[in-house]
Copies of this chain bind each other. A is one copy, B any other.
Amino acid sequence: MNMNKFLNPKSIAVVGVSSNPAKIGAVIFLNIIKGGFNGDVYAVNPKHKEVLGHPCYPSLSALPEVVDVAVIATPAPTVPSILEEAKKKGIKHAVVISGGFGESGRKDLEEAFKKAAEGMHVIGPNCLGIYSAKSRFDTLFFPHYKLERPPYGDIAIISQSGGVGSAFLSLASKNGLGMHSFVSYGNAYNIDESDLIKAYGAMNEAKIILMYVEGVGDGRKFTSALTYAASKKPVIVLKAGKEGKAKKAATTHTGALAGDYLAYKAAFKKAGVLEAYSLEDMFDMAKIFNQPLPKGKRLGIITNGGGFGVMATDAAMKLGLEMPSLSKQTLDEIKGKIPEYVTPANPFDVVADADVSRYREVLRAMLKDPNIDMVLVNILFQPPAINSAVVEELTSFLGSKPIAVVVPGGEVEARLRQMLTMSGIPSYPYPEKGVQALYALYKYSKARGIAKG
């Protein structure tokens, strides 16, 4: 499988483009056209010569070129023959959005699909398909006004559930988190989760792999793919459908057996992948991995709101992180640079009238402190003394030790969090979230033999 063809095709065809712009095939076609995809795009539908203002071809075989990817959004019974036709034309990659196969009890169509797909690389069926931020090729049938596409970055997400993956894209967009790509693989009749994990493991541009999974077909292949990918980069997996009714619901959802959760847990541990326990958890963890790995578990906290220092410290204590006193060197360094009424400590309460320069002096000293491995910076953005220049200031300190920033609050604060995340600084709305993310980074660092403690 050539994953690059899927993510950066030079030409694509959408089969099943209806003249009704609200129908799935039409939404996908228009999204690709309007989204800024730079290659050739063809609409295919035997019923039209022109559709939505674009020329329309009766079939894949009638296309003037052999496209890199065929996107198929036609009723399930028609899919096997369309795949056969694609193969005959010489098309090697296809994404099948349509549902209505094994998950709806149509084992016959499942078998026909598998047979037709032989010799090709096919994602799906019953999926959202692909989102590639670089080429702007995506097969998501969600209009842009309902799902803003996130900026380009280095996080990839592989999701058995299309909805969960696209909710993640929406969160990434809102938070300014750069995404490399997203693959929703659905029933996985031809290309499965393990093929995708392996492909992403080998892909240099994707620096972090996220995965949402309910059940897998081949457990041994899955463990092997995870082990390979985790040897190359951080892999974070969320396993849903853990027990009882949830396990049953997962089976109904994708037709794949959810399996024994404890067996999954054991496989994750063995493979060296990180487990996320919710979508929020996965999102929070994904942000932190652009930071250098900490050499230990000694946390420094800076805050302009005492209460947030206390809550962050509570979270650190709960996770077993250490919060050493500041070294004499740090106290000397800070002396004379902060007002007398500000007392150096850890957590370091720079108090409500702290401006950007006070944050700078304290953060600089703390990052140099030999007792400190990583720093959590809390910014209550409401006091008049602080402003968004803090983004540039914090950015200048990136690189030596891991930093996470907490900006608690709603609308105005969300804008600051977005600025921070877009500048490469992981940002969080609650102190516990920032501490948990740094803890996850520490655990990863320890598992790789870098962090002590």
Contact = CB atoms under 8 A, between A and B. Distances in A.
A295 interface: no
A240 to B, nearest CB: 5
A345 B252 CA distance: 10
Interface in A98-150: 100, 104, 140-143, 145-148
A164 to B, nearest CB: 4
A304 B409 CA distance: 30
A328 interface: no
Contact of A309 (B162, B253, B310, B412): B253
A306 B171 contact: no
Contacts of A343: 252
A240 B146 CA distance: 39
Nearest to A301: B249
A349 B253 CA distance: 8
Q: Please state the number of chain copies in the assembly.
A: 2
A345 B253 CA distance: 11
Interface string A387-411: 0000000000000000000001111
Interface string A312-352: 01111110000100000000000000000101011101001
Given A349-B252, A410-B175, A412-B146, A241 B314 contact: yes
Nearest to A164: B307
Interface stretch (A7-15, A56-64, A377-385, A437-445): A377-385
A158 B345 CA distance: 27
A341 B100 CA distance: 9
A174 interface: yes
A314 B249 CA distance: 10
A101 B433 CA distance: 33
Contacts of A253: 306-307, 309-310, 349
A1 interface: no
Contact of A430 (B160, B212, B250, B278): B278
A62 B243 CA distance: 72
Interface string A165-180: 0110011111100000
A311 B279 contact: yes
Interface string A247-270: 001101110000000000000000
Given A307-B164, A307-B212, A384 B142 contact: yes
A245 interface: yes
A308 interface: yes
A174 B412 CA distance: 9
Contacts of A145: 412
A296 interface: no
A353 B306 CA distance: 48
Contact of A306 (B22, B104, B254, B429): B254
A233 B269 CA distance: 46
Contacts of A363: none
A278 B349 contact: no
Given A161-B305, A163-B305, A167-B380, A311 B278 contact: yes
Contact of A409 (B22, B143, B171, B409): B171
A413 interface: yes
A280 interface: yes
Given A161-B305, A240-B311, A382-B146, A408 B279 contact: yes
Contact of A412 (B170, B212, B380): B170
A159 B380 CA distance: 15
A301 to B, nearest CB: 9
Contacts of A170: 382, 408-413
Given A244-B317, A245-B323, 8 more contacts: A142-B383, A148-B410, A161-B306, A170-B382, A243-B317, A249-B345, A253-B310, A280-B429
7 contacts: A140-B382, A240-B314, A241-B310, A243-B317, A249-B309, A249-B313, A280-B432
Closest 10 CB pairs of A and B: A174-B410, A161-B307, A163-B305, A170-B409, A253-B306, A246-B313, A164-B307, A142-B382, A167-B408, A170-B410
